[in-house]
Structure 1
C-alpha cells in the first residue's frame, strides 16, 4: 500500500503548491480576467485567511503521509513543501526571480514527486534515476516558461520579473526549445537504455495522442497565436502519457495487491 501513500502525499503536496499560490497571487490575479475567474481568493469567493488555513492544513496532511514512507522520502517531501511555499510567498517569491522560477518549478511540480516515489520503493544508484528525473524535470521547466509566455501581458502589468519578462519572448522560446531537446534525449535514455518502462508504453502514448489530438485539430483556428496553438496540443499529449504510464506502473501493483484481496473477498461471500 506504499503506492497509495506516495500518490496521496504527492497529490496533497501539489495541491498545497497551487493553493498557497492562489492565496499569495490573489492581488495580481485580480488584474487578469481569466486568472481571477479560477482563483477563489482573487474572485472574493474565499477570504485570504481561510485560503491560507486550508492550504497549510493540506500541507500538514502531506507531511504526515510522507513521514510514513521512509526517511529519504520524508526529507524529499519536506523539501517539496518548503519550495512550494517559498515559490509563492511574497517576501521570497522564487517565481518572480528569473531563471530560479522555472528551475524551482521543475523540482516542485515534477522532479521531487518522481524522486519521492522512486526512493519510497527503491534507493537505486544515480544512473538509474537521473535520466527519468531529467525527462520530467525539463518538461516541467518548459511548461512553466510556456505559462509565463501565455500570461506575459498580465504579469508585466503586475510588475513580475520572471524569466519570460526578463528575457523576452524570442529568447524564452529558444530556452523552451532547449528544454524540449534535453527532455527528448533524457526520454530516449530512459526508454531504450535504462528501460524504466516497456516499449509498448510509447506506442500507447502515440496512439492515444492521435485520438486525443484529433478533436483539437478539428476545433483549431489557424489565426490563433503560437502559444494558443501549442496549448491545443499539449493537453492531449499530457493525458496520453498519464494514461499510458499509469497503466504500466499501476497494473502490476493491482495484480499483486488488489486482485488477491478481491478474490479472497469473493470466497468469503
Structure 2
C-alpha cells in the first residue's frame, strides 16, 4: 500500500488513484507508466513537422536516386554530394507538405487520414505548415543554385511539379495517368538528373539505363499500390488507375513496366560497369537477408507483409546501403591506406 499512498502525492491529482490501483493490485511498478519527459509545445510542434515531411516514406528511394545519379556521372564523396542529397530530400518533403496542406480540410472527415495528417489532427496549424513548406522550398532552391545551372533547373522544376501536383489551382493528382507519370518524375527522374548534373556538364552514353530503371521502378511500386487498392505511399491515394481505366489496362501497363524494370535493371547492374563487383555482392547478400527470412515466415504462418512489397522494400534498402558503401568505403580506405583506390 506504500506505493498507492505515495502516488497521489507525486502526481498531485487524486483522480489518478483509479488508474494506479489496478496496477498496484497486480503488483506492477506503476512508475514505469509515467511519462517522465512530457512533451513541451516546442517538442510537439517539431514532432508534427517531422510527421508532415514524411521522410520515412521516401527517404531510402531518394537516397538511391541521388547516389545513382552521382555514380553515373562519376561523382565522389564530397560536400556537393551531401548538398544534393539534402536538396533532393527537401524537394520531395516539400511536395508531401503541400499535399497534406491541400488535403487537410478533406482529411478531417476520415479517421485514418486525419491521424496521418498532422494538420487535420490539430498537431500543427495550417499557417505554420505553409510557412515551414515555404522555408523548406527556399532552402532546396538555394542548394540547387549552389550546384550549378542544370541542377538548379531540374531541382526547381521538381519543386514546381511538387507544388502543382497537389495544389487545388491545378491539381495534377486529379488526372490519373498524368499523376502516375508525375510521381515517377518527382520521386526518381528529376532527382536523378539533378544529382547527375551536379558532377557532370553533359550526358554520357550510359545515363539513360539507370535513369529509366529508377523511373520504371518507382512507377511499378506506385502501380502496384493502386492496383492493390492500398495506401502504401501518400501519392497513390487518389488516382487508382485500375479503377479509372479498367483492370485490363492496369495489367497491360504493369506488364510493360515490369519488362522495363527487369531489362534496364540487368543492364544497369551488370553490363555498364556502374557498380564494382564487391558492391554487387553486398547488394545481393543484403537482398537475400532482407527477403528470404520474411518469405519463409510468410510461408509458415501465412501472415506478414505483401510479397510484392517485401521484394520492393528489400530491393530499395539493399541498393541504398550498397550505394552508400560504394561512396563511404573507398573514402575510408583512402584515409587509412592512401593509394588503394
TM-score range, shorter-chain basis? 0.7 to 0.9
Q: Which TM-score applies when normalising by structure 1?
A: 0.82
Q: Structure 1 residues 174, 34: closer, same or farther in 2, change over 3 A? A: farther
Which of these residues, 219, 222, 228, is aligned with residue 302 of structure 2?
222
Would the aligned equivalents of 2:179 and 2:239 in 1 still touch at CA under 8 Å?
no
Q: Which residue does the alignment assign to 1:131?
A: 209
Higher relative contact order (CA 8 A, sep 6+): 2
RMSD over aligned Cα, in angstroms? 2.7
Distance 2:122 2:227 in 1: 26
- Give the drift of 1:223: 7.1
| TM-score relative to the length of structure 2 | 0.66
Aligned partner (choices 151, 163, 166) of residue 85 of structure 1: 163
Structure 2: tracts of 5 or more residues without a match:
1-78, 232-236
Mapping of residues 228-267 of structure 1, within 5 Å: 228-252=306-330, 259=335
Residues 79-111 of structure 1: CA deviation (Å, up to 9, x unaligned)? 010101111112211122121112111111111
State the shift of 1:164 in Å. Answer: 3.3
Q: What is the number of equivalent residue pairs in this alignment?
A: 252
Query: CA contact under 8 A between 1:216 and 1:233: conserved in structure 2?
Result: no
Structure of larger gyration radius: 2
Which of 108, 114, 119 in structure 2 is aligned with 1:36? 114
Conservation of the 8 A alpha-carbon contact between 1:97 and 1:163: no
TM-superposed deviation, 1:43: 2.0
Q: C-alpha separation between the residues in 1 aligned to 2:332 and 2:160? A: 32
Q: Would the aligned equivalents of 2:187 and 2:218 in 1 still touch at CA under 8 Å?
A: yes
Query: Residue 124 of structure 2 is aligned with which of 20, 42, 46?
Result: 46
Residue 143 and residue 25 in structure 1: after superposition, are their counterparts in 2 closer, same or farther (change >3 A)?
Answer: farther
Distance in 1, Cα, partners of 2:86 & 2:204: 25
User: Which ranges of structure 1 fall in alignment gaps of 5 or more residues?
Assistant: 154-158, 264-269
Residue 193 to residue 86, structure 1, CA distance change in 2 (3 Å): same
Is 2:206 the partner of 1:144?
no
The question of 1:182 aligning with 2:260 is answered yes
